[in-house]
């Protein structure tokens, strides 16, 4: 057999329902044998503990219930509404902080309507000033003068 036991073989070995190959492997592999023995000893100890608990008289279990009840009676009870209040306050603070952080400045809208002629003039001026051929130099000078006058008159 290559390697160690598979999960199915390991379970069968623990339940003592293993086949010949598993039994042969356990005879040869000390690691798997130790693992199965360790599990069997832990399961045996748990089984013994359960049996000893079952064997306890009724008075033992009554005293256990009384001790547990007395401990619960002296324990301070925390009202769940306090936890909910803290949780709600935390959520409200987070929402408020995110609202204040993400708030954009309101844009000031111009009450003046733009004149379509001025918009056309500005677009012509921008196109003239960008990569201007020499022949249009005087027109650019004229456009600059017109725009300077328009800004001083406002």
What DSSP assignment string belongs to 69-99? HHHHHHSPPPPHHHHHHHHHHHHHHHHHHHH
Looking at the domain assignment, is residue 14 inside a domain? yes
Looking at the domain assignment, is residue 102 inside a domain? no
Q: Read off the pLDDT of residues 1-50 as tens digits, 9 standing for 90 and up.
A: 457 778 888 778 877 777 888 888 888 888 888 888 888 888 888 889 88
- pLDDT average, residue stretch 93-98: 89
Q: Read off the pLDDT of residues 52-69 as tens digits, 9 standing for 90 and up.
A: 888 889 999 899 999 999
Same domain, 70 and 128: no
Same domain, 66 and 12: yes
Q: Is the pLDDT of residue 95 over 80?
A: yes
Looking at the domain assignment, is residue 110 inside a domain? no
Same domain, 13 and 65: yes
Same domain, 69 and 12: yes
Structurally, the chain folds into a number of domains equal to 2
Return the higher-pLDDT residue of 136 and 38: 38
Looking at the domain assignment, is residue 79 inside a domain? no
Of residues 137, 139, 146, the one with CA closest to residue 117 = 146
Looking at the domain assignment, is residue 32 inside a domain? yes
Q: DSSP for 24-60, please give it.
A: HHHHH-HHHHHHHHHHHHHHHHHHHHHHHHHTS-HHH
Q: Is the pLDDT of residue 146 over 70?
A: yes
Residue reference for tokens 């748990």? 46
**Residue at which a domain ends, from 74, 104, 124:** 74
Cβ–Cβ under 8 Å, residues 128 and 146: no
Top-confidence range, 123-132, 133-142, 145-154: 145-154
Looking at the domain assignment, is residue 16 inside a domain? yes
Q: What's the whole-number average pLDDT of the chain?
A: 81
Q: Is 115 helix (H, G, I), strand (E, B) or coil?
A: coil
Looking at the domain assignment, is residue 89 inside a domain? no
> What percent of the chain stands above pLDDT 90?
12
Same domain, 69 and 121: no
**Residue at which a domain ends, from 74, 107, 130:** 74
Domain span at residue 62?
A: 7-74
Looking at the domain assignment, is residue 121 inside a domain? yes
- pLDDT average, residue stretch 144-150: 84
């Amino acid at each position: 057999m290559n390697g160690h036991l598979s999960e199915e073989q390991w379970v069968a070995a623990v339940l003592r329902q293993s086949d010949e190959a598993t039994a042969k492997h356990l005879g040869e592999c000390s690691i798997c044998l130790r693992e199965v023995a360790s599990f069997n000893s832990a399961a045996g100890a748990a089984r013994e503990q359960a049996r000893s608990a079952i064997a306890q008289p009724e008075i033992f279990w009554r005293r256990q219930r009384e001790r547990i009840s007395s401990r619960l009676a002296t324990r301070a009870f925390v009202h769940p509404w306090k936890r909910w209040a803290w949780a709600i306050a935390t959520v409200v603070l987070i929402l408020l902080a995110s609202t204040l952080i993400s708030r954009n400045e309101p844009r000031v809208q111009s009450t003046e309507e733009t004149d379509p002629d001025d918009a056309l003039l500005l677009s012509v001026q921008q196109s003239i000033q960008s990569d201007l051929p020499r022949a249009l130099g005087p027109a650019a000078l004229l456009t600059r003068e017109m725009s300077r006058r328009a800004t001083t008159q406002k």
